[in-house]
Amino acid sequence: MMEQAPRGWARALAIYGDRRILTVLVLGFSSGLPLALTGATLSAWLKTEGVDKTTIGLFALAGLPYAFKFVWSPLIDGLSIPGLTRALGRRRSWAILIQLLLMAAVAALGASDPARAPVAVAALALAVAFLSASQDIVIDAYRVEVLAESEQGAGAAAIQIGYRVGMLASGAGALYLADANGFHLAYLVMAALVVVGIAAILANPEPDSAPVPRDIGATQWIRRHVIDPFADFMARPGWIAILAFTVLYKFGDAISGYMATPLYIELGFSLSEIAGVTKVFGLGATIAGSLLGGIAVARWGIMRALFVCGVLQAATILLYIVQAKVGHDVGMLAVTVAGENLTGGMGSAALVAYLSSLTRIAFTATQYALFSALAALGRIAANSSSGWLADRLDWVTFFVVATIAALPGLALLLWVGRRR
What pLDDT, on a 0 to 100 scale, did the predictor assign at position 28? 93
Provide the CA 222 distance to its chain's centre, in angstroms.
28
Greater confidence (234 vs 318) lies with 318
Q: Mean pLDDT over all residues of the chain?
A: 85
| AA identity, residue 8 | G
Q: Cα-flanking dihedrals φ and ψ of residue 270, to 5°?
A: -80, 165
Q: What is the pLDDT of residues 83-124, one digit of tens each?
A: 888 888 888 999 999 999 999 999 999 998 887 788 888 899
What pLDDT, on a 0 to 100 scale, did the predictor assign at position 4? 45
Comparing 5-14, 127-136, 372-381, the range with the smallest average pLDDT is 5-14
375 lies in a domain?
A: yes
What span, in angstroms and rounded, lies between the C-alpha atoms of 12 and 351? 18
What span, in angstroms and rounded, lies between the C-alpha atoms of 361 and 54? 42
Q: Cα-flanking dihedrals φ and ψ of residue 396, to 5°?
A: -65, -50
pLDDT band at 125 (very low <50, low <70, confident <90, very high): very high
| AA identity, residue 206 | E
Asked if residue 205 has pLDDT above 90, the reply is: no
Total tally of structural domains belonging to the chain: 1
What pTM does this model have?
A: 0.69
What pLDDT, on a 0 to 100 scale, did the predictor assign at position 214? 62
Q: What is the pLDDT of residues 242-254, one digit of tens each?
A: 888 988 898 888 8
What span, in angstroms and rounded, lies between the C-alpha atoms of 275 and 300? 35
Asked if residue 130 has pLDDT above 90, the reply is: yes
As a whole number, mean pLDDT of residues 258-268 equals: 88
Q: What is the pLDDT of residues 336-354, one digit of tens each?
A: 999 998 999 899 888 988 8
4 lies in a domain?
A: no
What pLDDT, on a 0 to 100 scale, did the predictor assign at position 310? 93
Asked if residue 198 has pLDDT above 50, the reply is: yes
CATH number of the domain bearing residue 247: 1.20.1250.20
Note down the domain range covering 406: 9-419
Asked if residue 1 has pLDDT above 70, the reply is: no
CA atoms within 13 A on the CB side of 390: 26
What pLDDT, on a 0 to 100 scale, did the predictor assign at position 213? 60
Comparing 23-32, 63-72, 261-270, 381-390, the range with the smallest average pLDDT is 381-390
8 Cβ partners below 8 Å, 6+ apart?
none
Are residues 67 and 373 in contact, defined by beta-carbon separation less than 8 angstroms? yes
39 lies in a domain?
A: yes
Asked if residue 230 has pLDDT above 70, the reply is: yes
Asked if residue 210 has pLDDT above 80, the reply is: no
Asked if residue 281 has pLDDT above 90, the reply is: no
1 lies in a domain?
A: no
Asked if residue 136 has pLDDT above 80, the reply is: yes
Asked if residue 14 has pLDDT above 80, the reply is: no
What span, in angstroms and rounded, lies between the C-alpha atoms of 144 and 149? 8
Q: 139-155 as b/e, with b when 16 or more CB fall inside 10 Å?
A: bbbbbbbbbeeebbbbb
What span, in angstroms and rounded, lies between the C-alpha atoms of 133 and 73? 10
2 lies in a domain?
A: no
What span, in angstroms and rounded, lies between the C-alpha atoms of 171 and 166? 8
3 lies in a domain?
A: no
What pLDDT, on a 0 to 100 scale, did the predictor assign at position 66? 85
Return the number of other C-beta atoms located less than 10 Å from residue 9's C-beta: 11
Query: Greatest CA separation found in the chain?
Result: 65
pLDDT band at 225 (very low <50, low <70, confident <90, very high): confident
Asked if residue 195 has pLDDT above 80, the reply is: yes
182 lies in a domain?
A: yes
Please state the three-class secondary structure of the chain as a single string: CCCCCCCCHHHHHHHHHCHHHHHHHHHHHHHHHHHHHCCHHHHHHHHHCCCCHHHHHHHHHHHHHHHHHHHCHHHHHHCCCCCHHHHHCHHHHHHHHHHHHHHHHHHHHHCCCCCCCHHHHHHHHHHHHHHHHHHHHHHHHHHHHHCCHHHHHHHHHHHHHHHHHHHHHHHHHHHHHHHHHCHHHHHHHHHHHCHHHHHHHHCCCCCCCCCCCCCCCHHHHHHHHHHHHHHHHHCCCCHHHHHHHHHHCCHHHHHHHHCHHHHHHHCCCCHHHHHHHHHHHHHHHHHHHHHHHHHHHHHHCHHHHHHHHHHHHHHHHHHHHHHHHHCCCHHHHHHHHHHHHHHHHHHHHHHHHHHHHHCCHHHHHHHHHHHHHHHHHHHHHHHHHHHHHHHHCCHHHHHHHHHHCCHHHHHHHHHHHHHC
Q: What is the pLDDT of residues 297-328, one digit of tens each?
A: 878 888 999 999 999 999 999 999 999 999 99
Asked if residue 263 has pLDDT above 70, the reply is: yes
283 lies in a domain?
A: yes
